[in-house]
């Protein structure tokens, strides 16, 4: 019974049946309470309710992403190339430097040590205050809260060469090579992310792997796509967090 219909019903029966005014008033008040309860149940979600829903959606997205990450671990091998698509503005800018494929903004080299999957990579900015080459668990490198997805690639080279690449990667890590804010490909004491991977594979394979470089006018650099688009590099698994 609607509120207006209920009110009309009360007035008519109040006159016909000589219902006491107190009873009629009680019935009227009851109708108001019922109407308010109905209104509350049918109201649109508040900002707080929407916020809670969004937070739960983000939590569910993170859970699904970590399930995806864990699912590809058995596929990973020593010396694999790993890439990621950062979600921040800096990553978007770096991605735009890729001349052929702008899917990924950052890359690193996988090393399996004591059954742990670690990633060596060069990173600058606030994410790495001391600016030195990082060695991080794969889950940290692939962190879905900061990234939109990852890719795992493999070079078609011998296991012996892969071991030499890892040895070179670890050597540069122990040397404490700093991040190259100038993006100067000619310098070897500072390296940016793609440069670190490029030189680790090139030096580690004793120049058997050679990479092309990208150019913006007279500026030469190595883009992330110059690494994973190498003819001997093949995609093993691509993940997009959703």
Residue 50 binned pLDDT confidence (cut-offs 50, 70, 90): low
Give a yes or no: residue 70 inside a domain.
no
CA 177 to CA 188: how far, in whole Å? 8
Ramachandran assignment for 104, one of left (phi > 0), alpha (psi -120 to 50 degrees), beta (any other) = beta
Does residue 200 sit within a domain? Answer: yes
- Whether 124 maps to a domain, the answer reads yes
The model's confidence at residue 111, banded by pLDDT at 50, 70 and 90, is very high
CB within 8 A of 202, min separation 6: which ones?
209, 210, 211
Q: Does 36 lie in the same domain as 85?
A: no
Which domain, by its residues, includes 146? 75-240
Domain count, the chain: 2
pTM for the predicted model, two decimal places: 0.78
**Is the pLDDT reported for residue 242 higher than 90?**
no
Mean pLDDT of 224-239: 98
pLDDT digits (tens, 9 = 90+) for 134-175: 999 999 999 998 999 999 999 999 999 999 999 999 999 999
Q: Is residue 162 part of a domain?
A: yes
Please tell me whether residues 146 and 194 are part of one structural domain.
yes
Longest C-alpha distance within the chain, in Å?
106
Q: Which residues contact 217 (CB under 8 A, 6 or more apart)?
A: none
Same domain as 87, residue 28: no
- 57 lies in some domain: no
Q: Place 132 in a pLDDT band, splitting at 50, 70 and 90.
A: very high
Both 234 and 144 in a single domain?
A: yes
Same domain for 86 and 185, yes or no, is yes
In a domain, 108, yes or no: yes
CATH number at 134 reads 3.90.1720.10
Task: Say whether both 31 and 86 belong to one domain.
Answer: no
């Amino acid at each position: 019974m609607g509120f207006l219909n209920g009110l009309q019903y009360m007035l008519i029966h109040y006159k016909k049946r000589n219902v006491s005014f107190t009873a009629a008033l009680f019935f009227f008040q009851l109708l108001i309470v019922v109407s308010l309860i109905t209104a509350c149940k049918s109201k649109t979600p508040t900002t707080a309710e929407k916020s809670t829903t969004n937070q739960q959606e983000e939590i569910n997205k993170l859970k699904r992403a970590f399930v995806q990450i864990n699912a590809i671990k058995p596929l990973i091998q020593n010396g694999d190339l790993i890439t990621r698509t950062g979600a921040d503005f800096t990553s978007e800018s770096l991605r735009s430097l890729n001349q052929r494929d702008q899917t990924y903004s950052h890359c690193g080299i996988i090393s399996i040590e004591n059954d742990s999957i670690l990633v060596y990579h060069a990173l600058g900015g606030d994410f790495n205050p001391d600016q030195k080459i990082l060695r991080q668990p794969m889950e940290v490198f692939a962190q879905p809260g900061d990234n939109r997805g990852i890719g795992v690639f493999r070079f078609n080279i011998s296991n012996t060469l892969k071991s030499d690449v890892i040895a070179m990667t670890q050597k540069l890590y122990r040397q404490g090579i700093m991040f190259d804010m100038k993006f100067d490909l000619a310098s070897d004491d500072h390296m940016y992310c793609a440069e670190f991977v490029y030189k680790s594979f090139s030096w580690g394979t004793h120049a058997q792997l050679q990479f092309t470089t990208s150019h913006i006018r007279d500026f030469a650099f190595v883009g992330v796509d110059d690494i994973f688009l190498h003819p001997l590099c093949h995609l093993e698994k691509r993940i997009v967090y959703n």
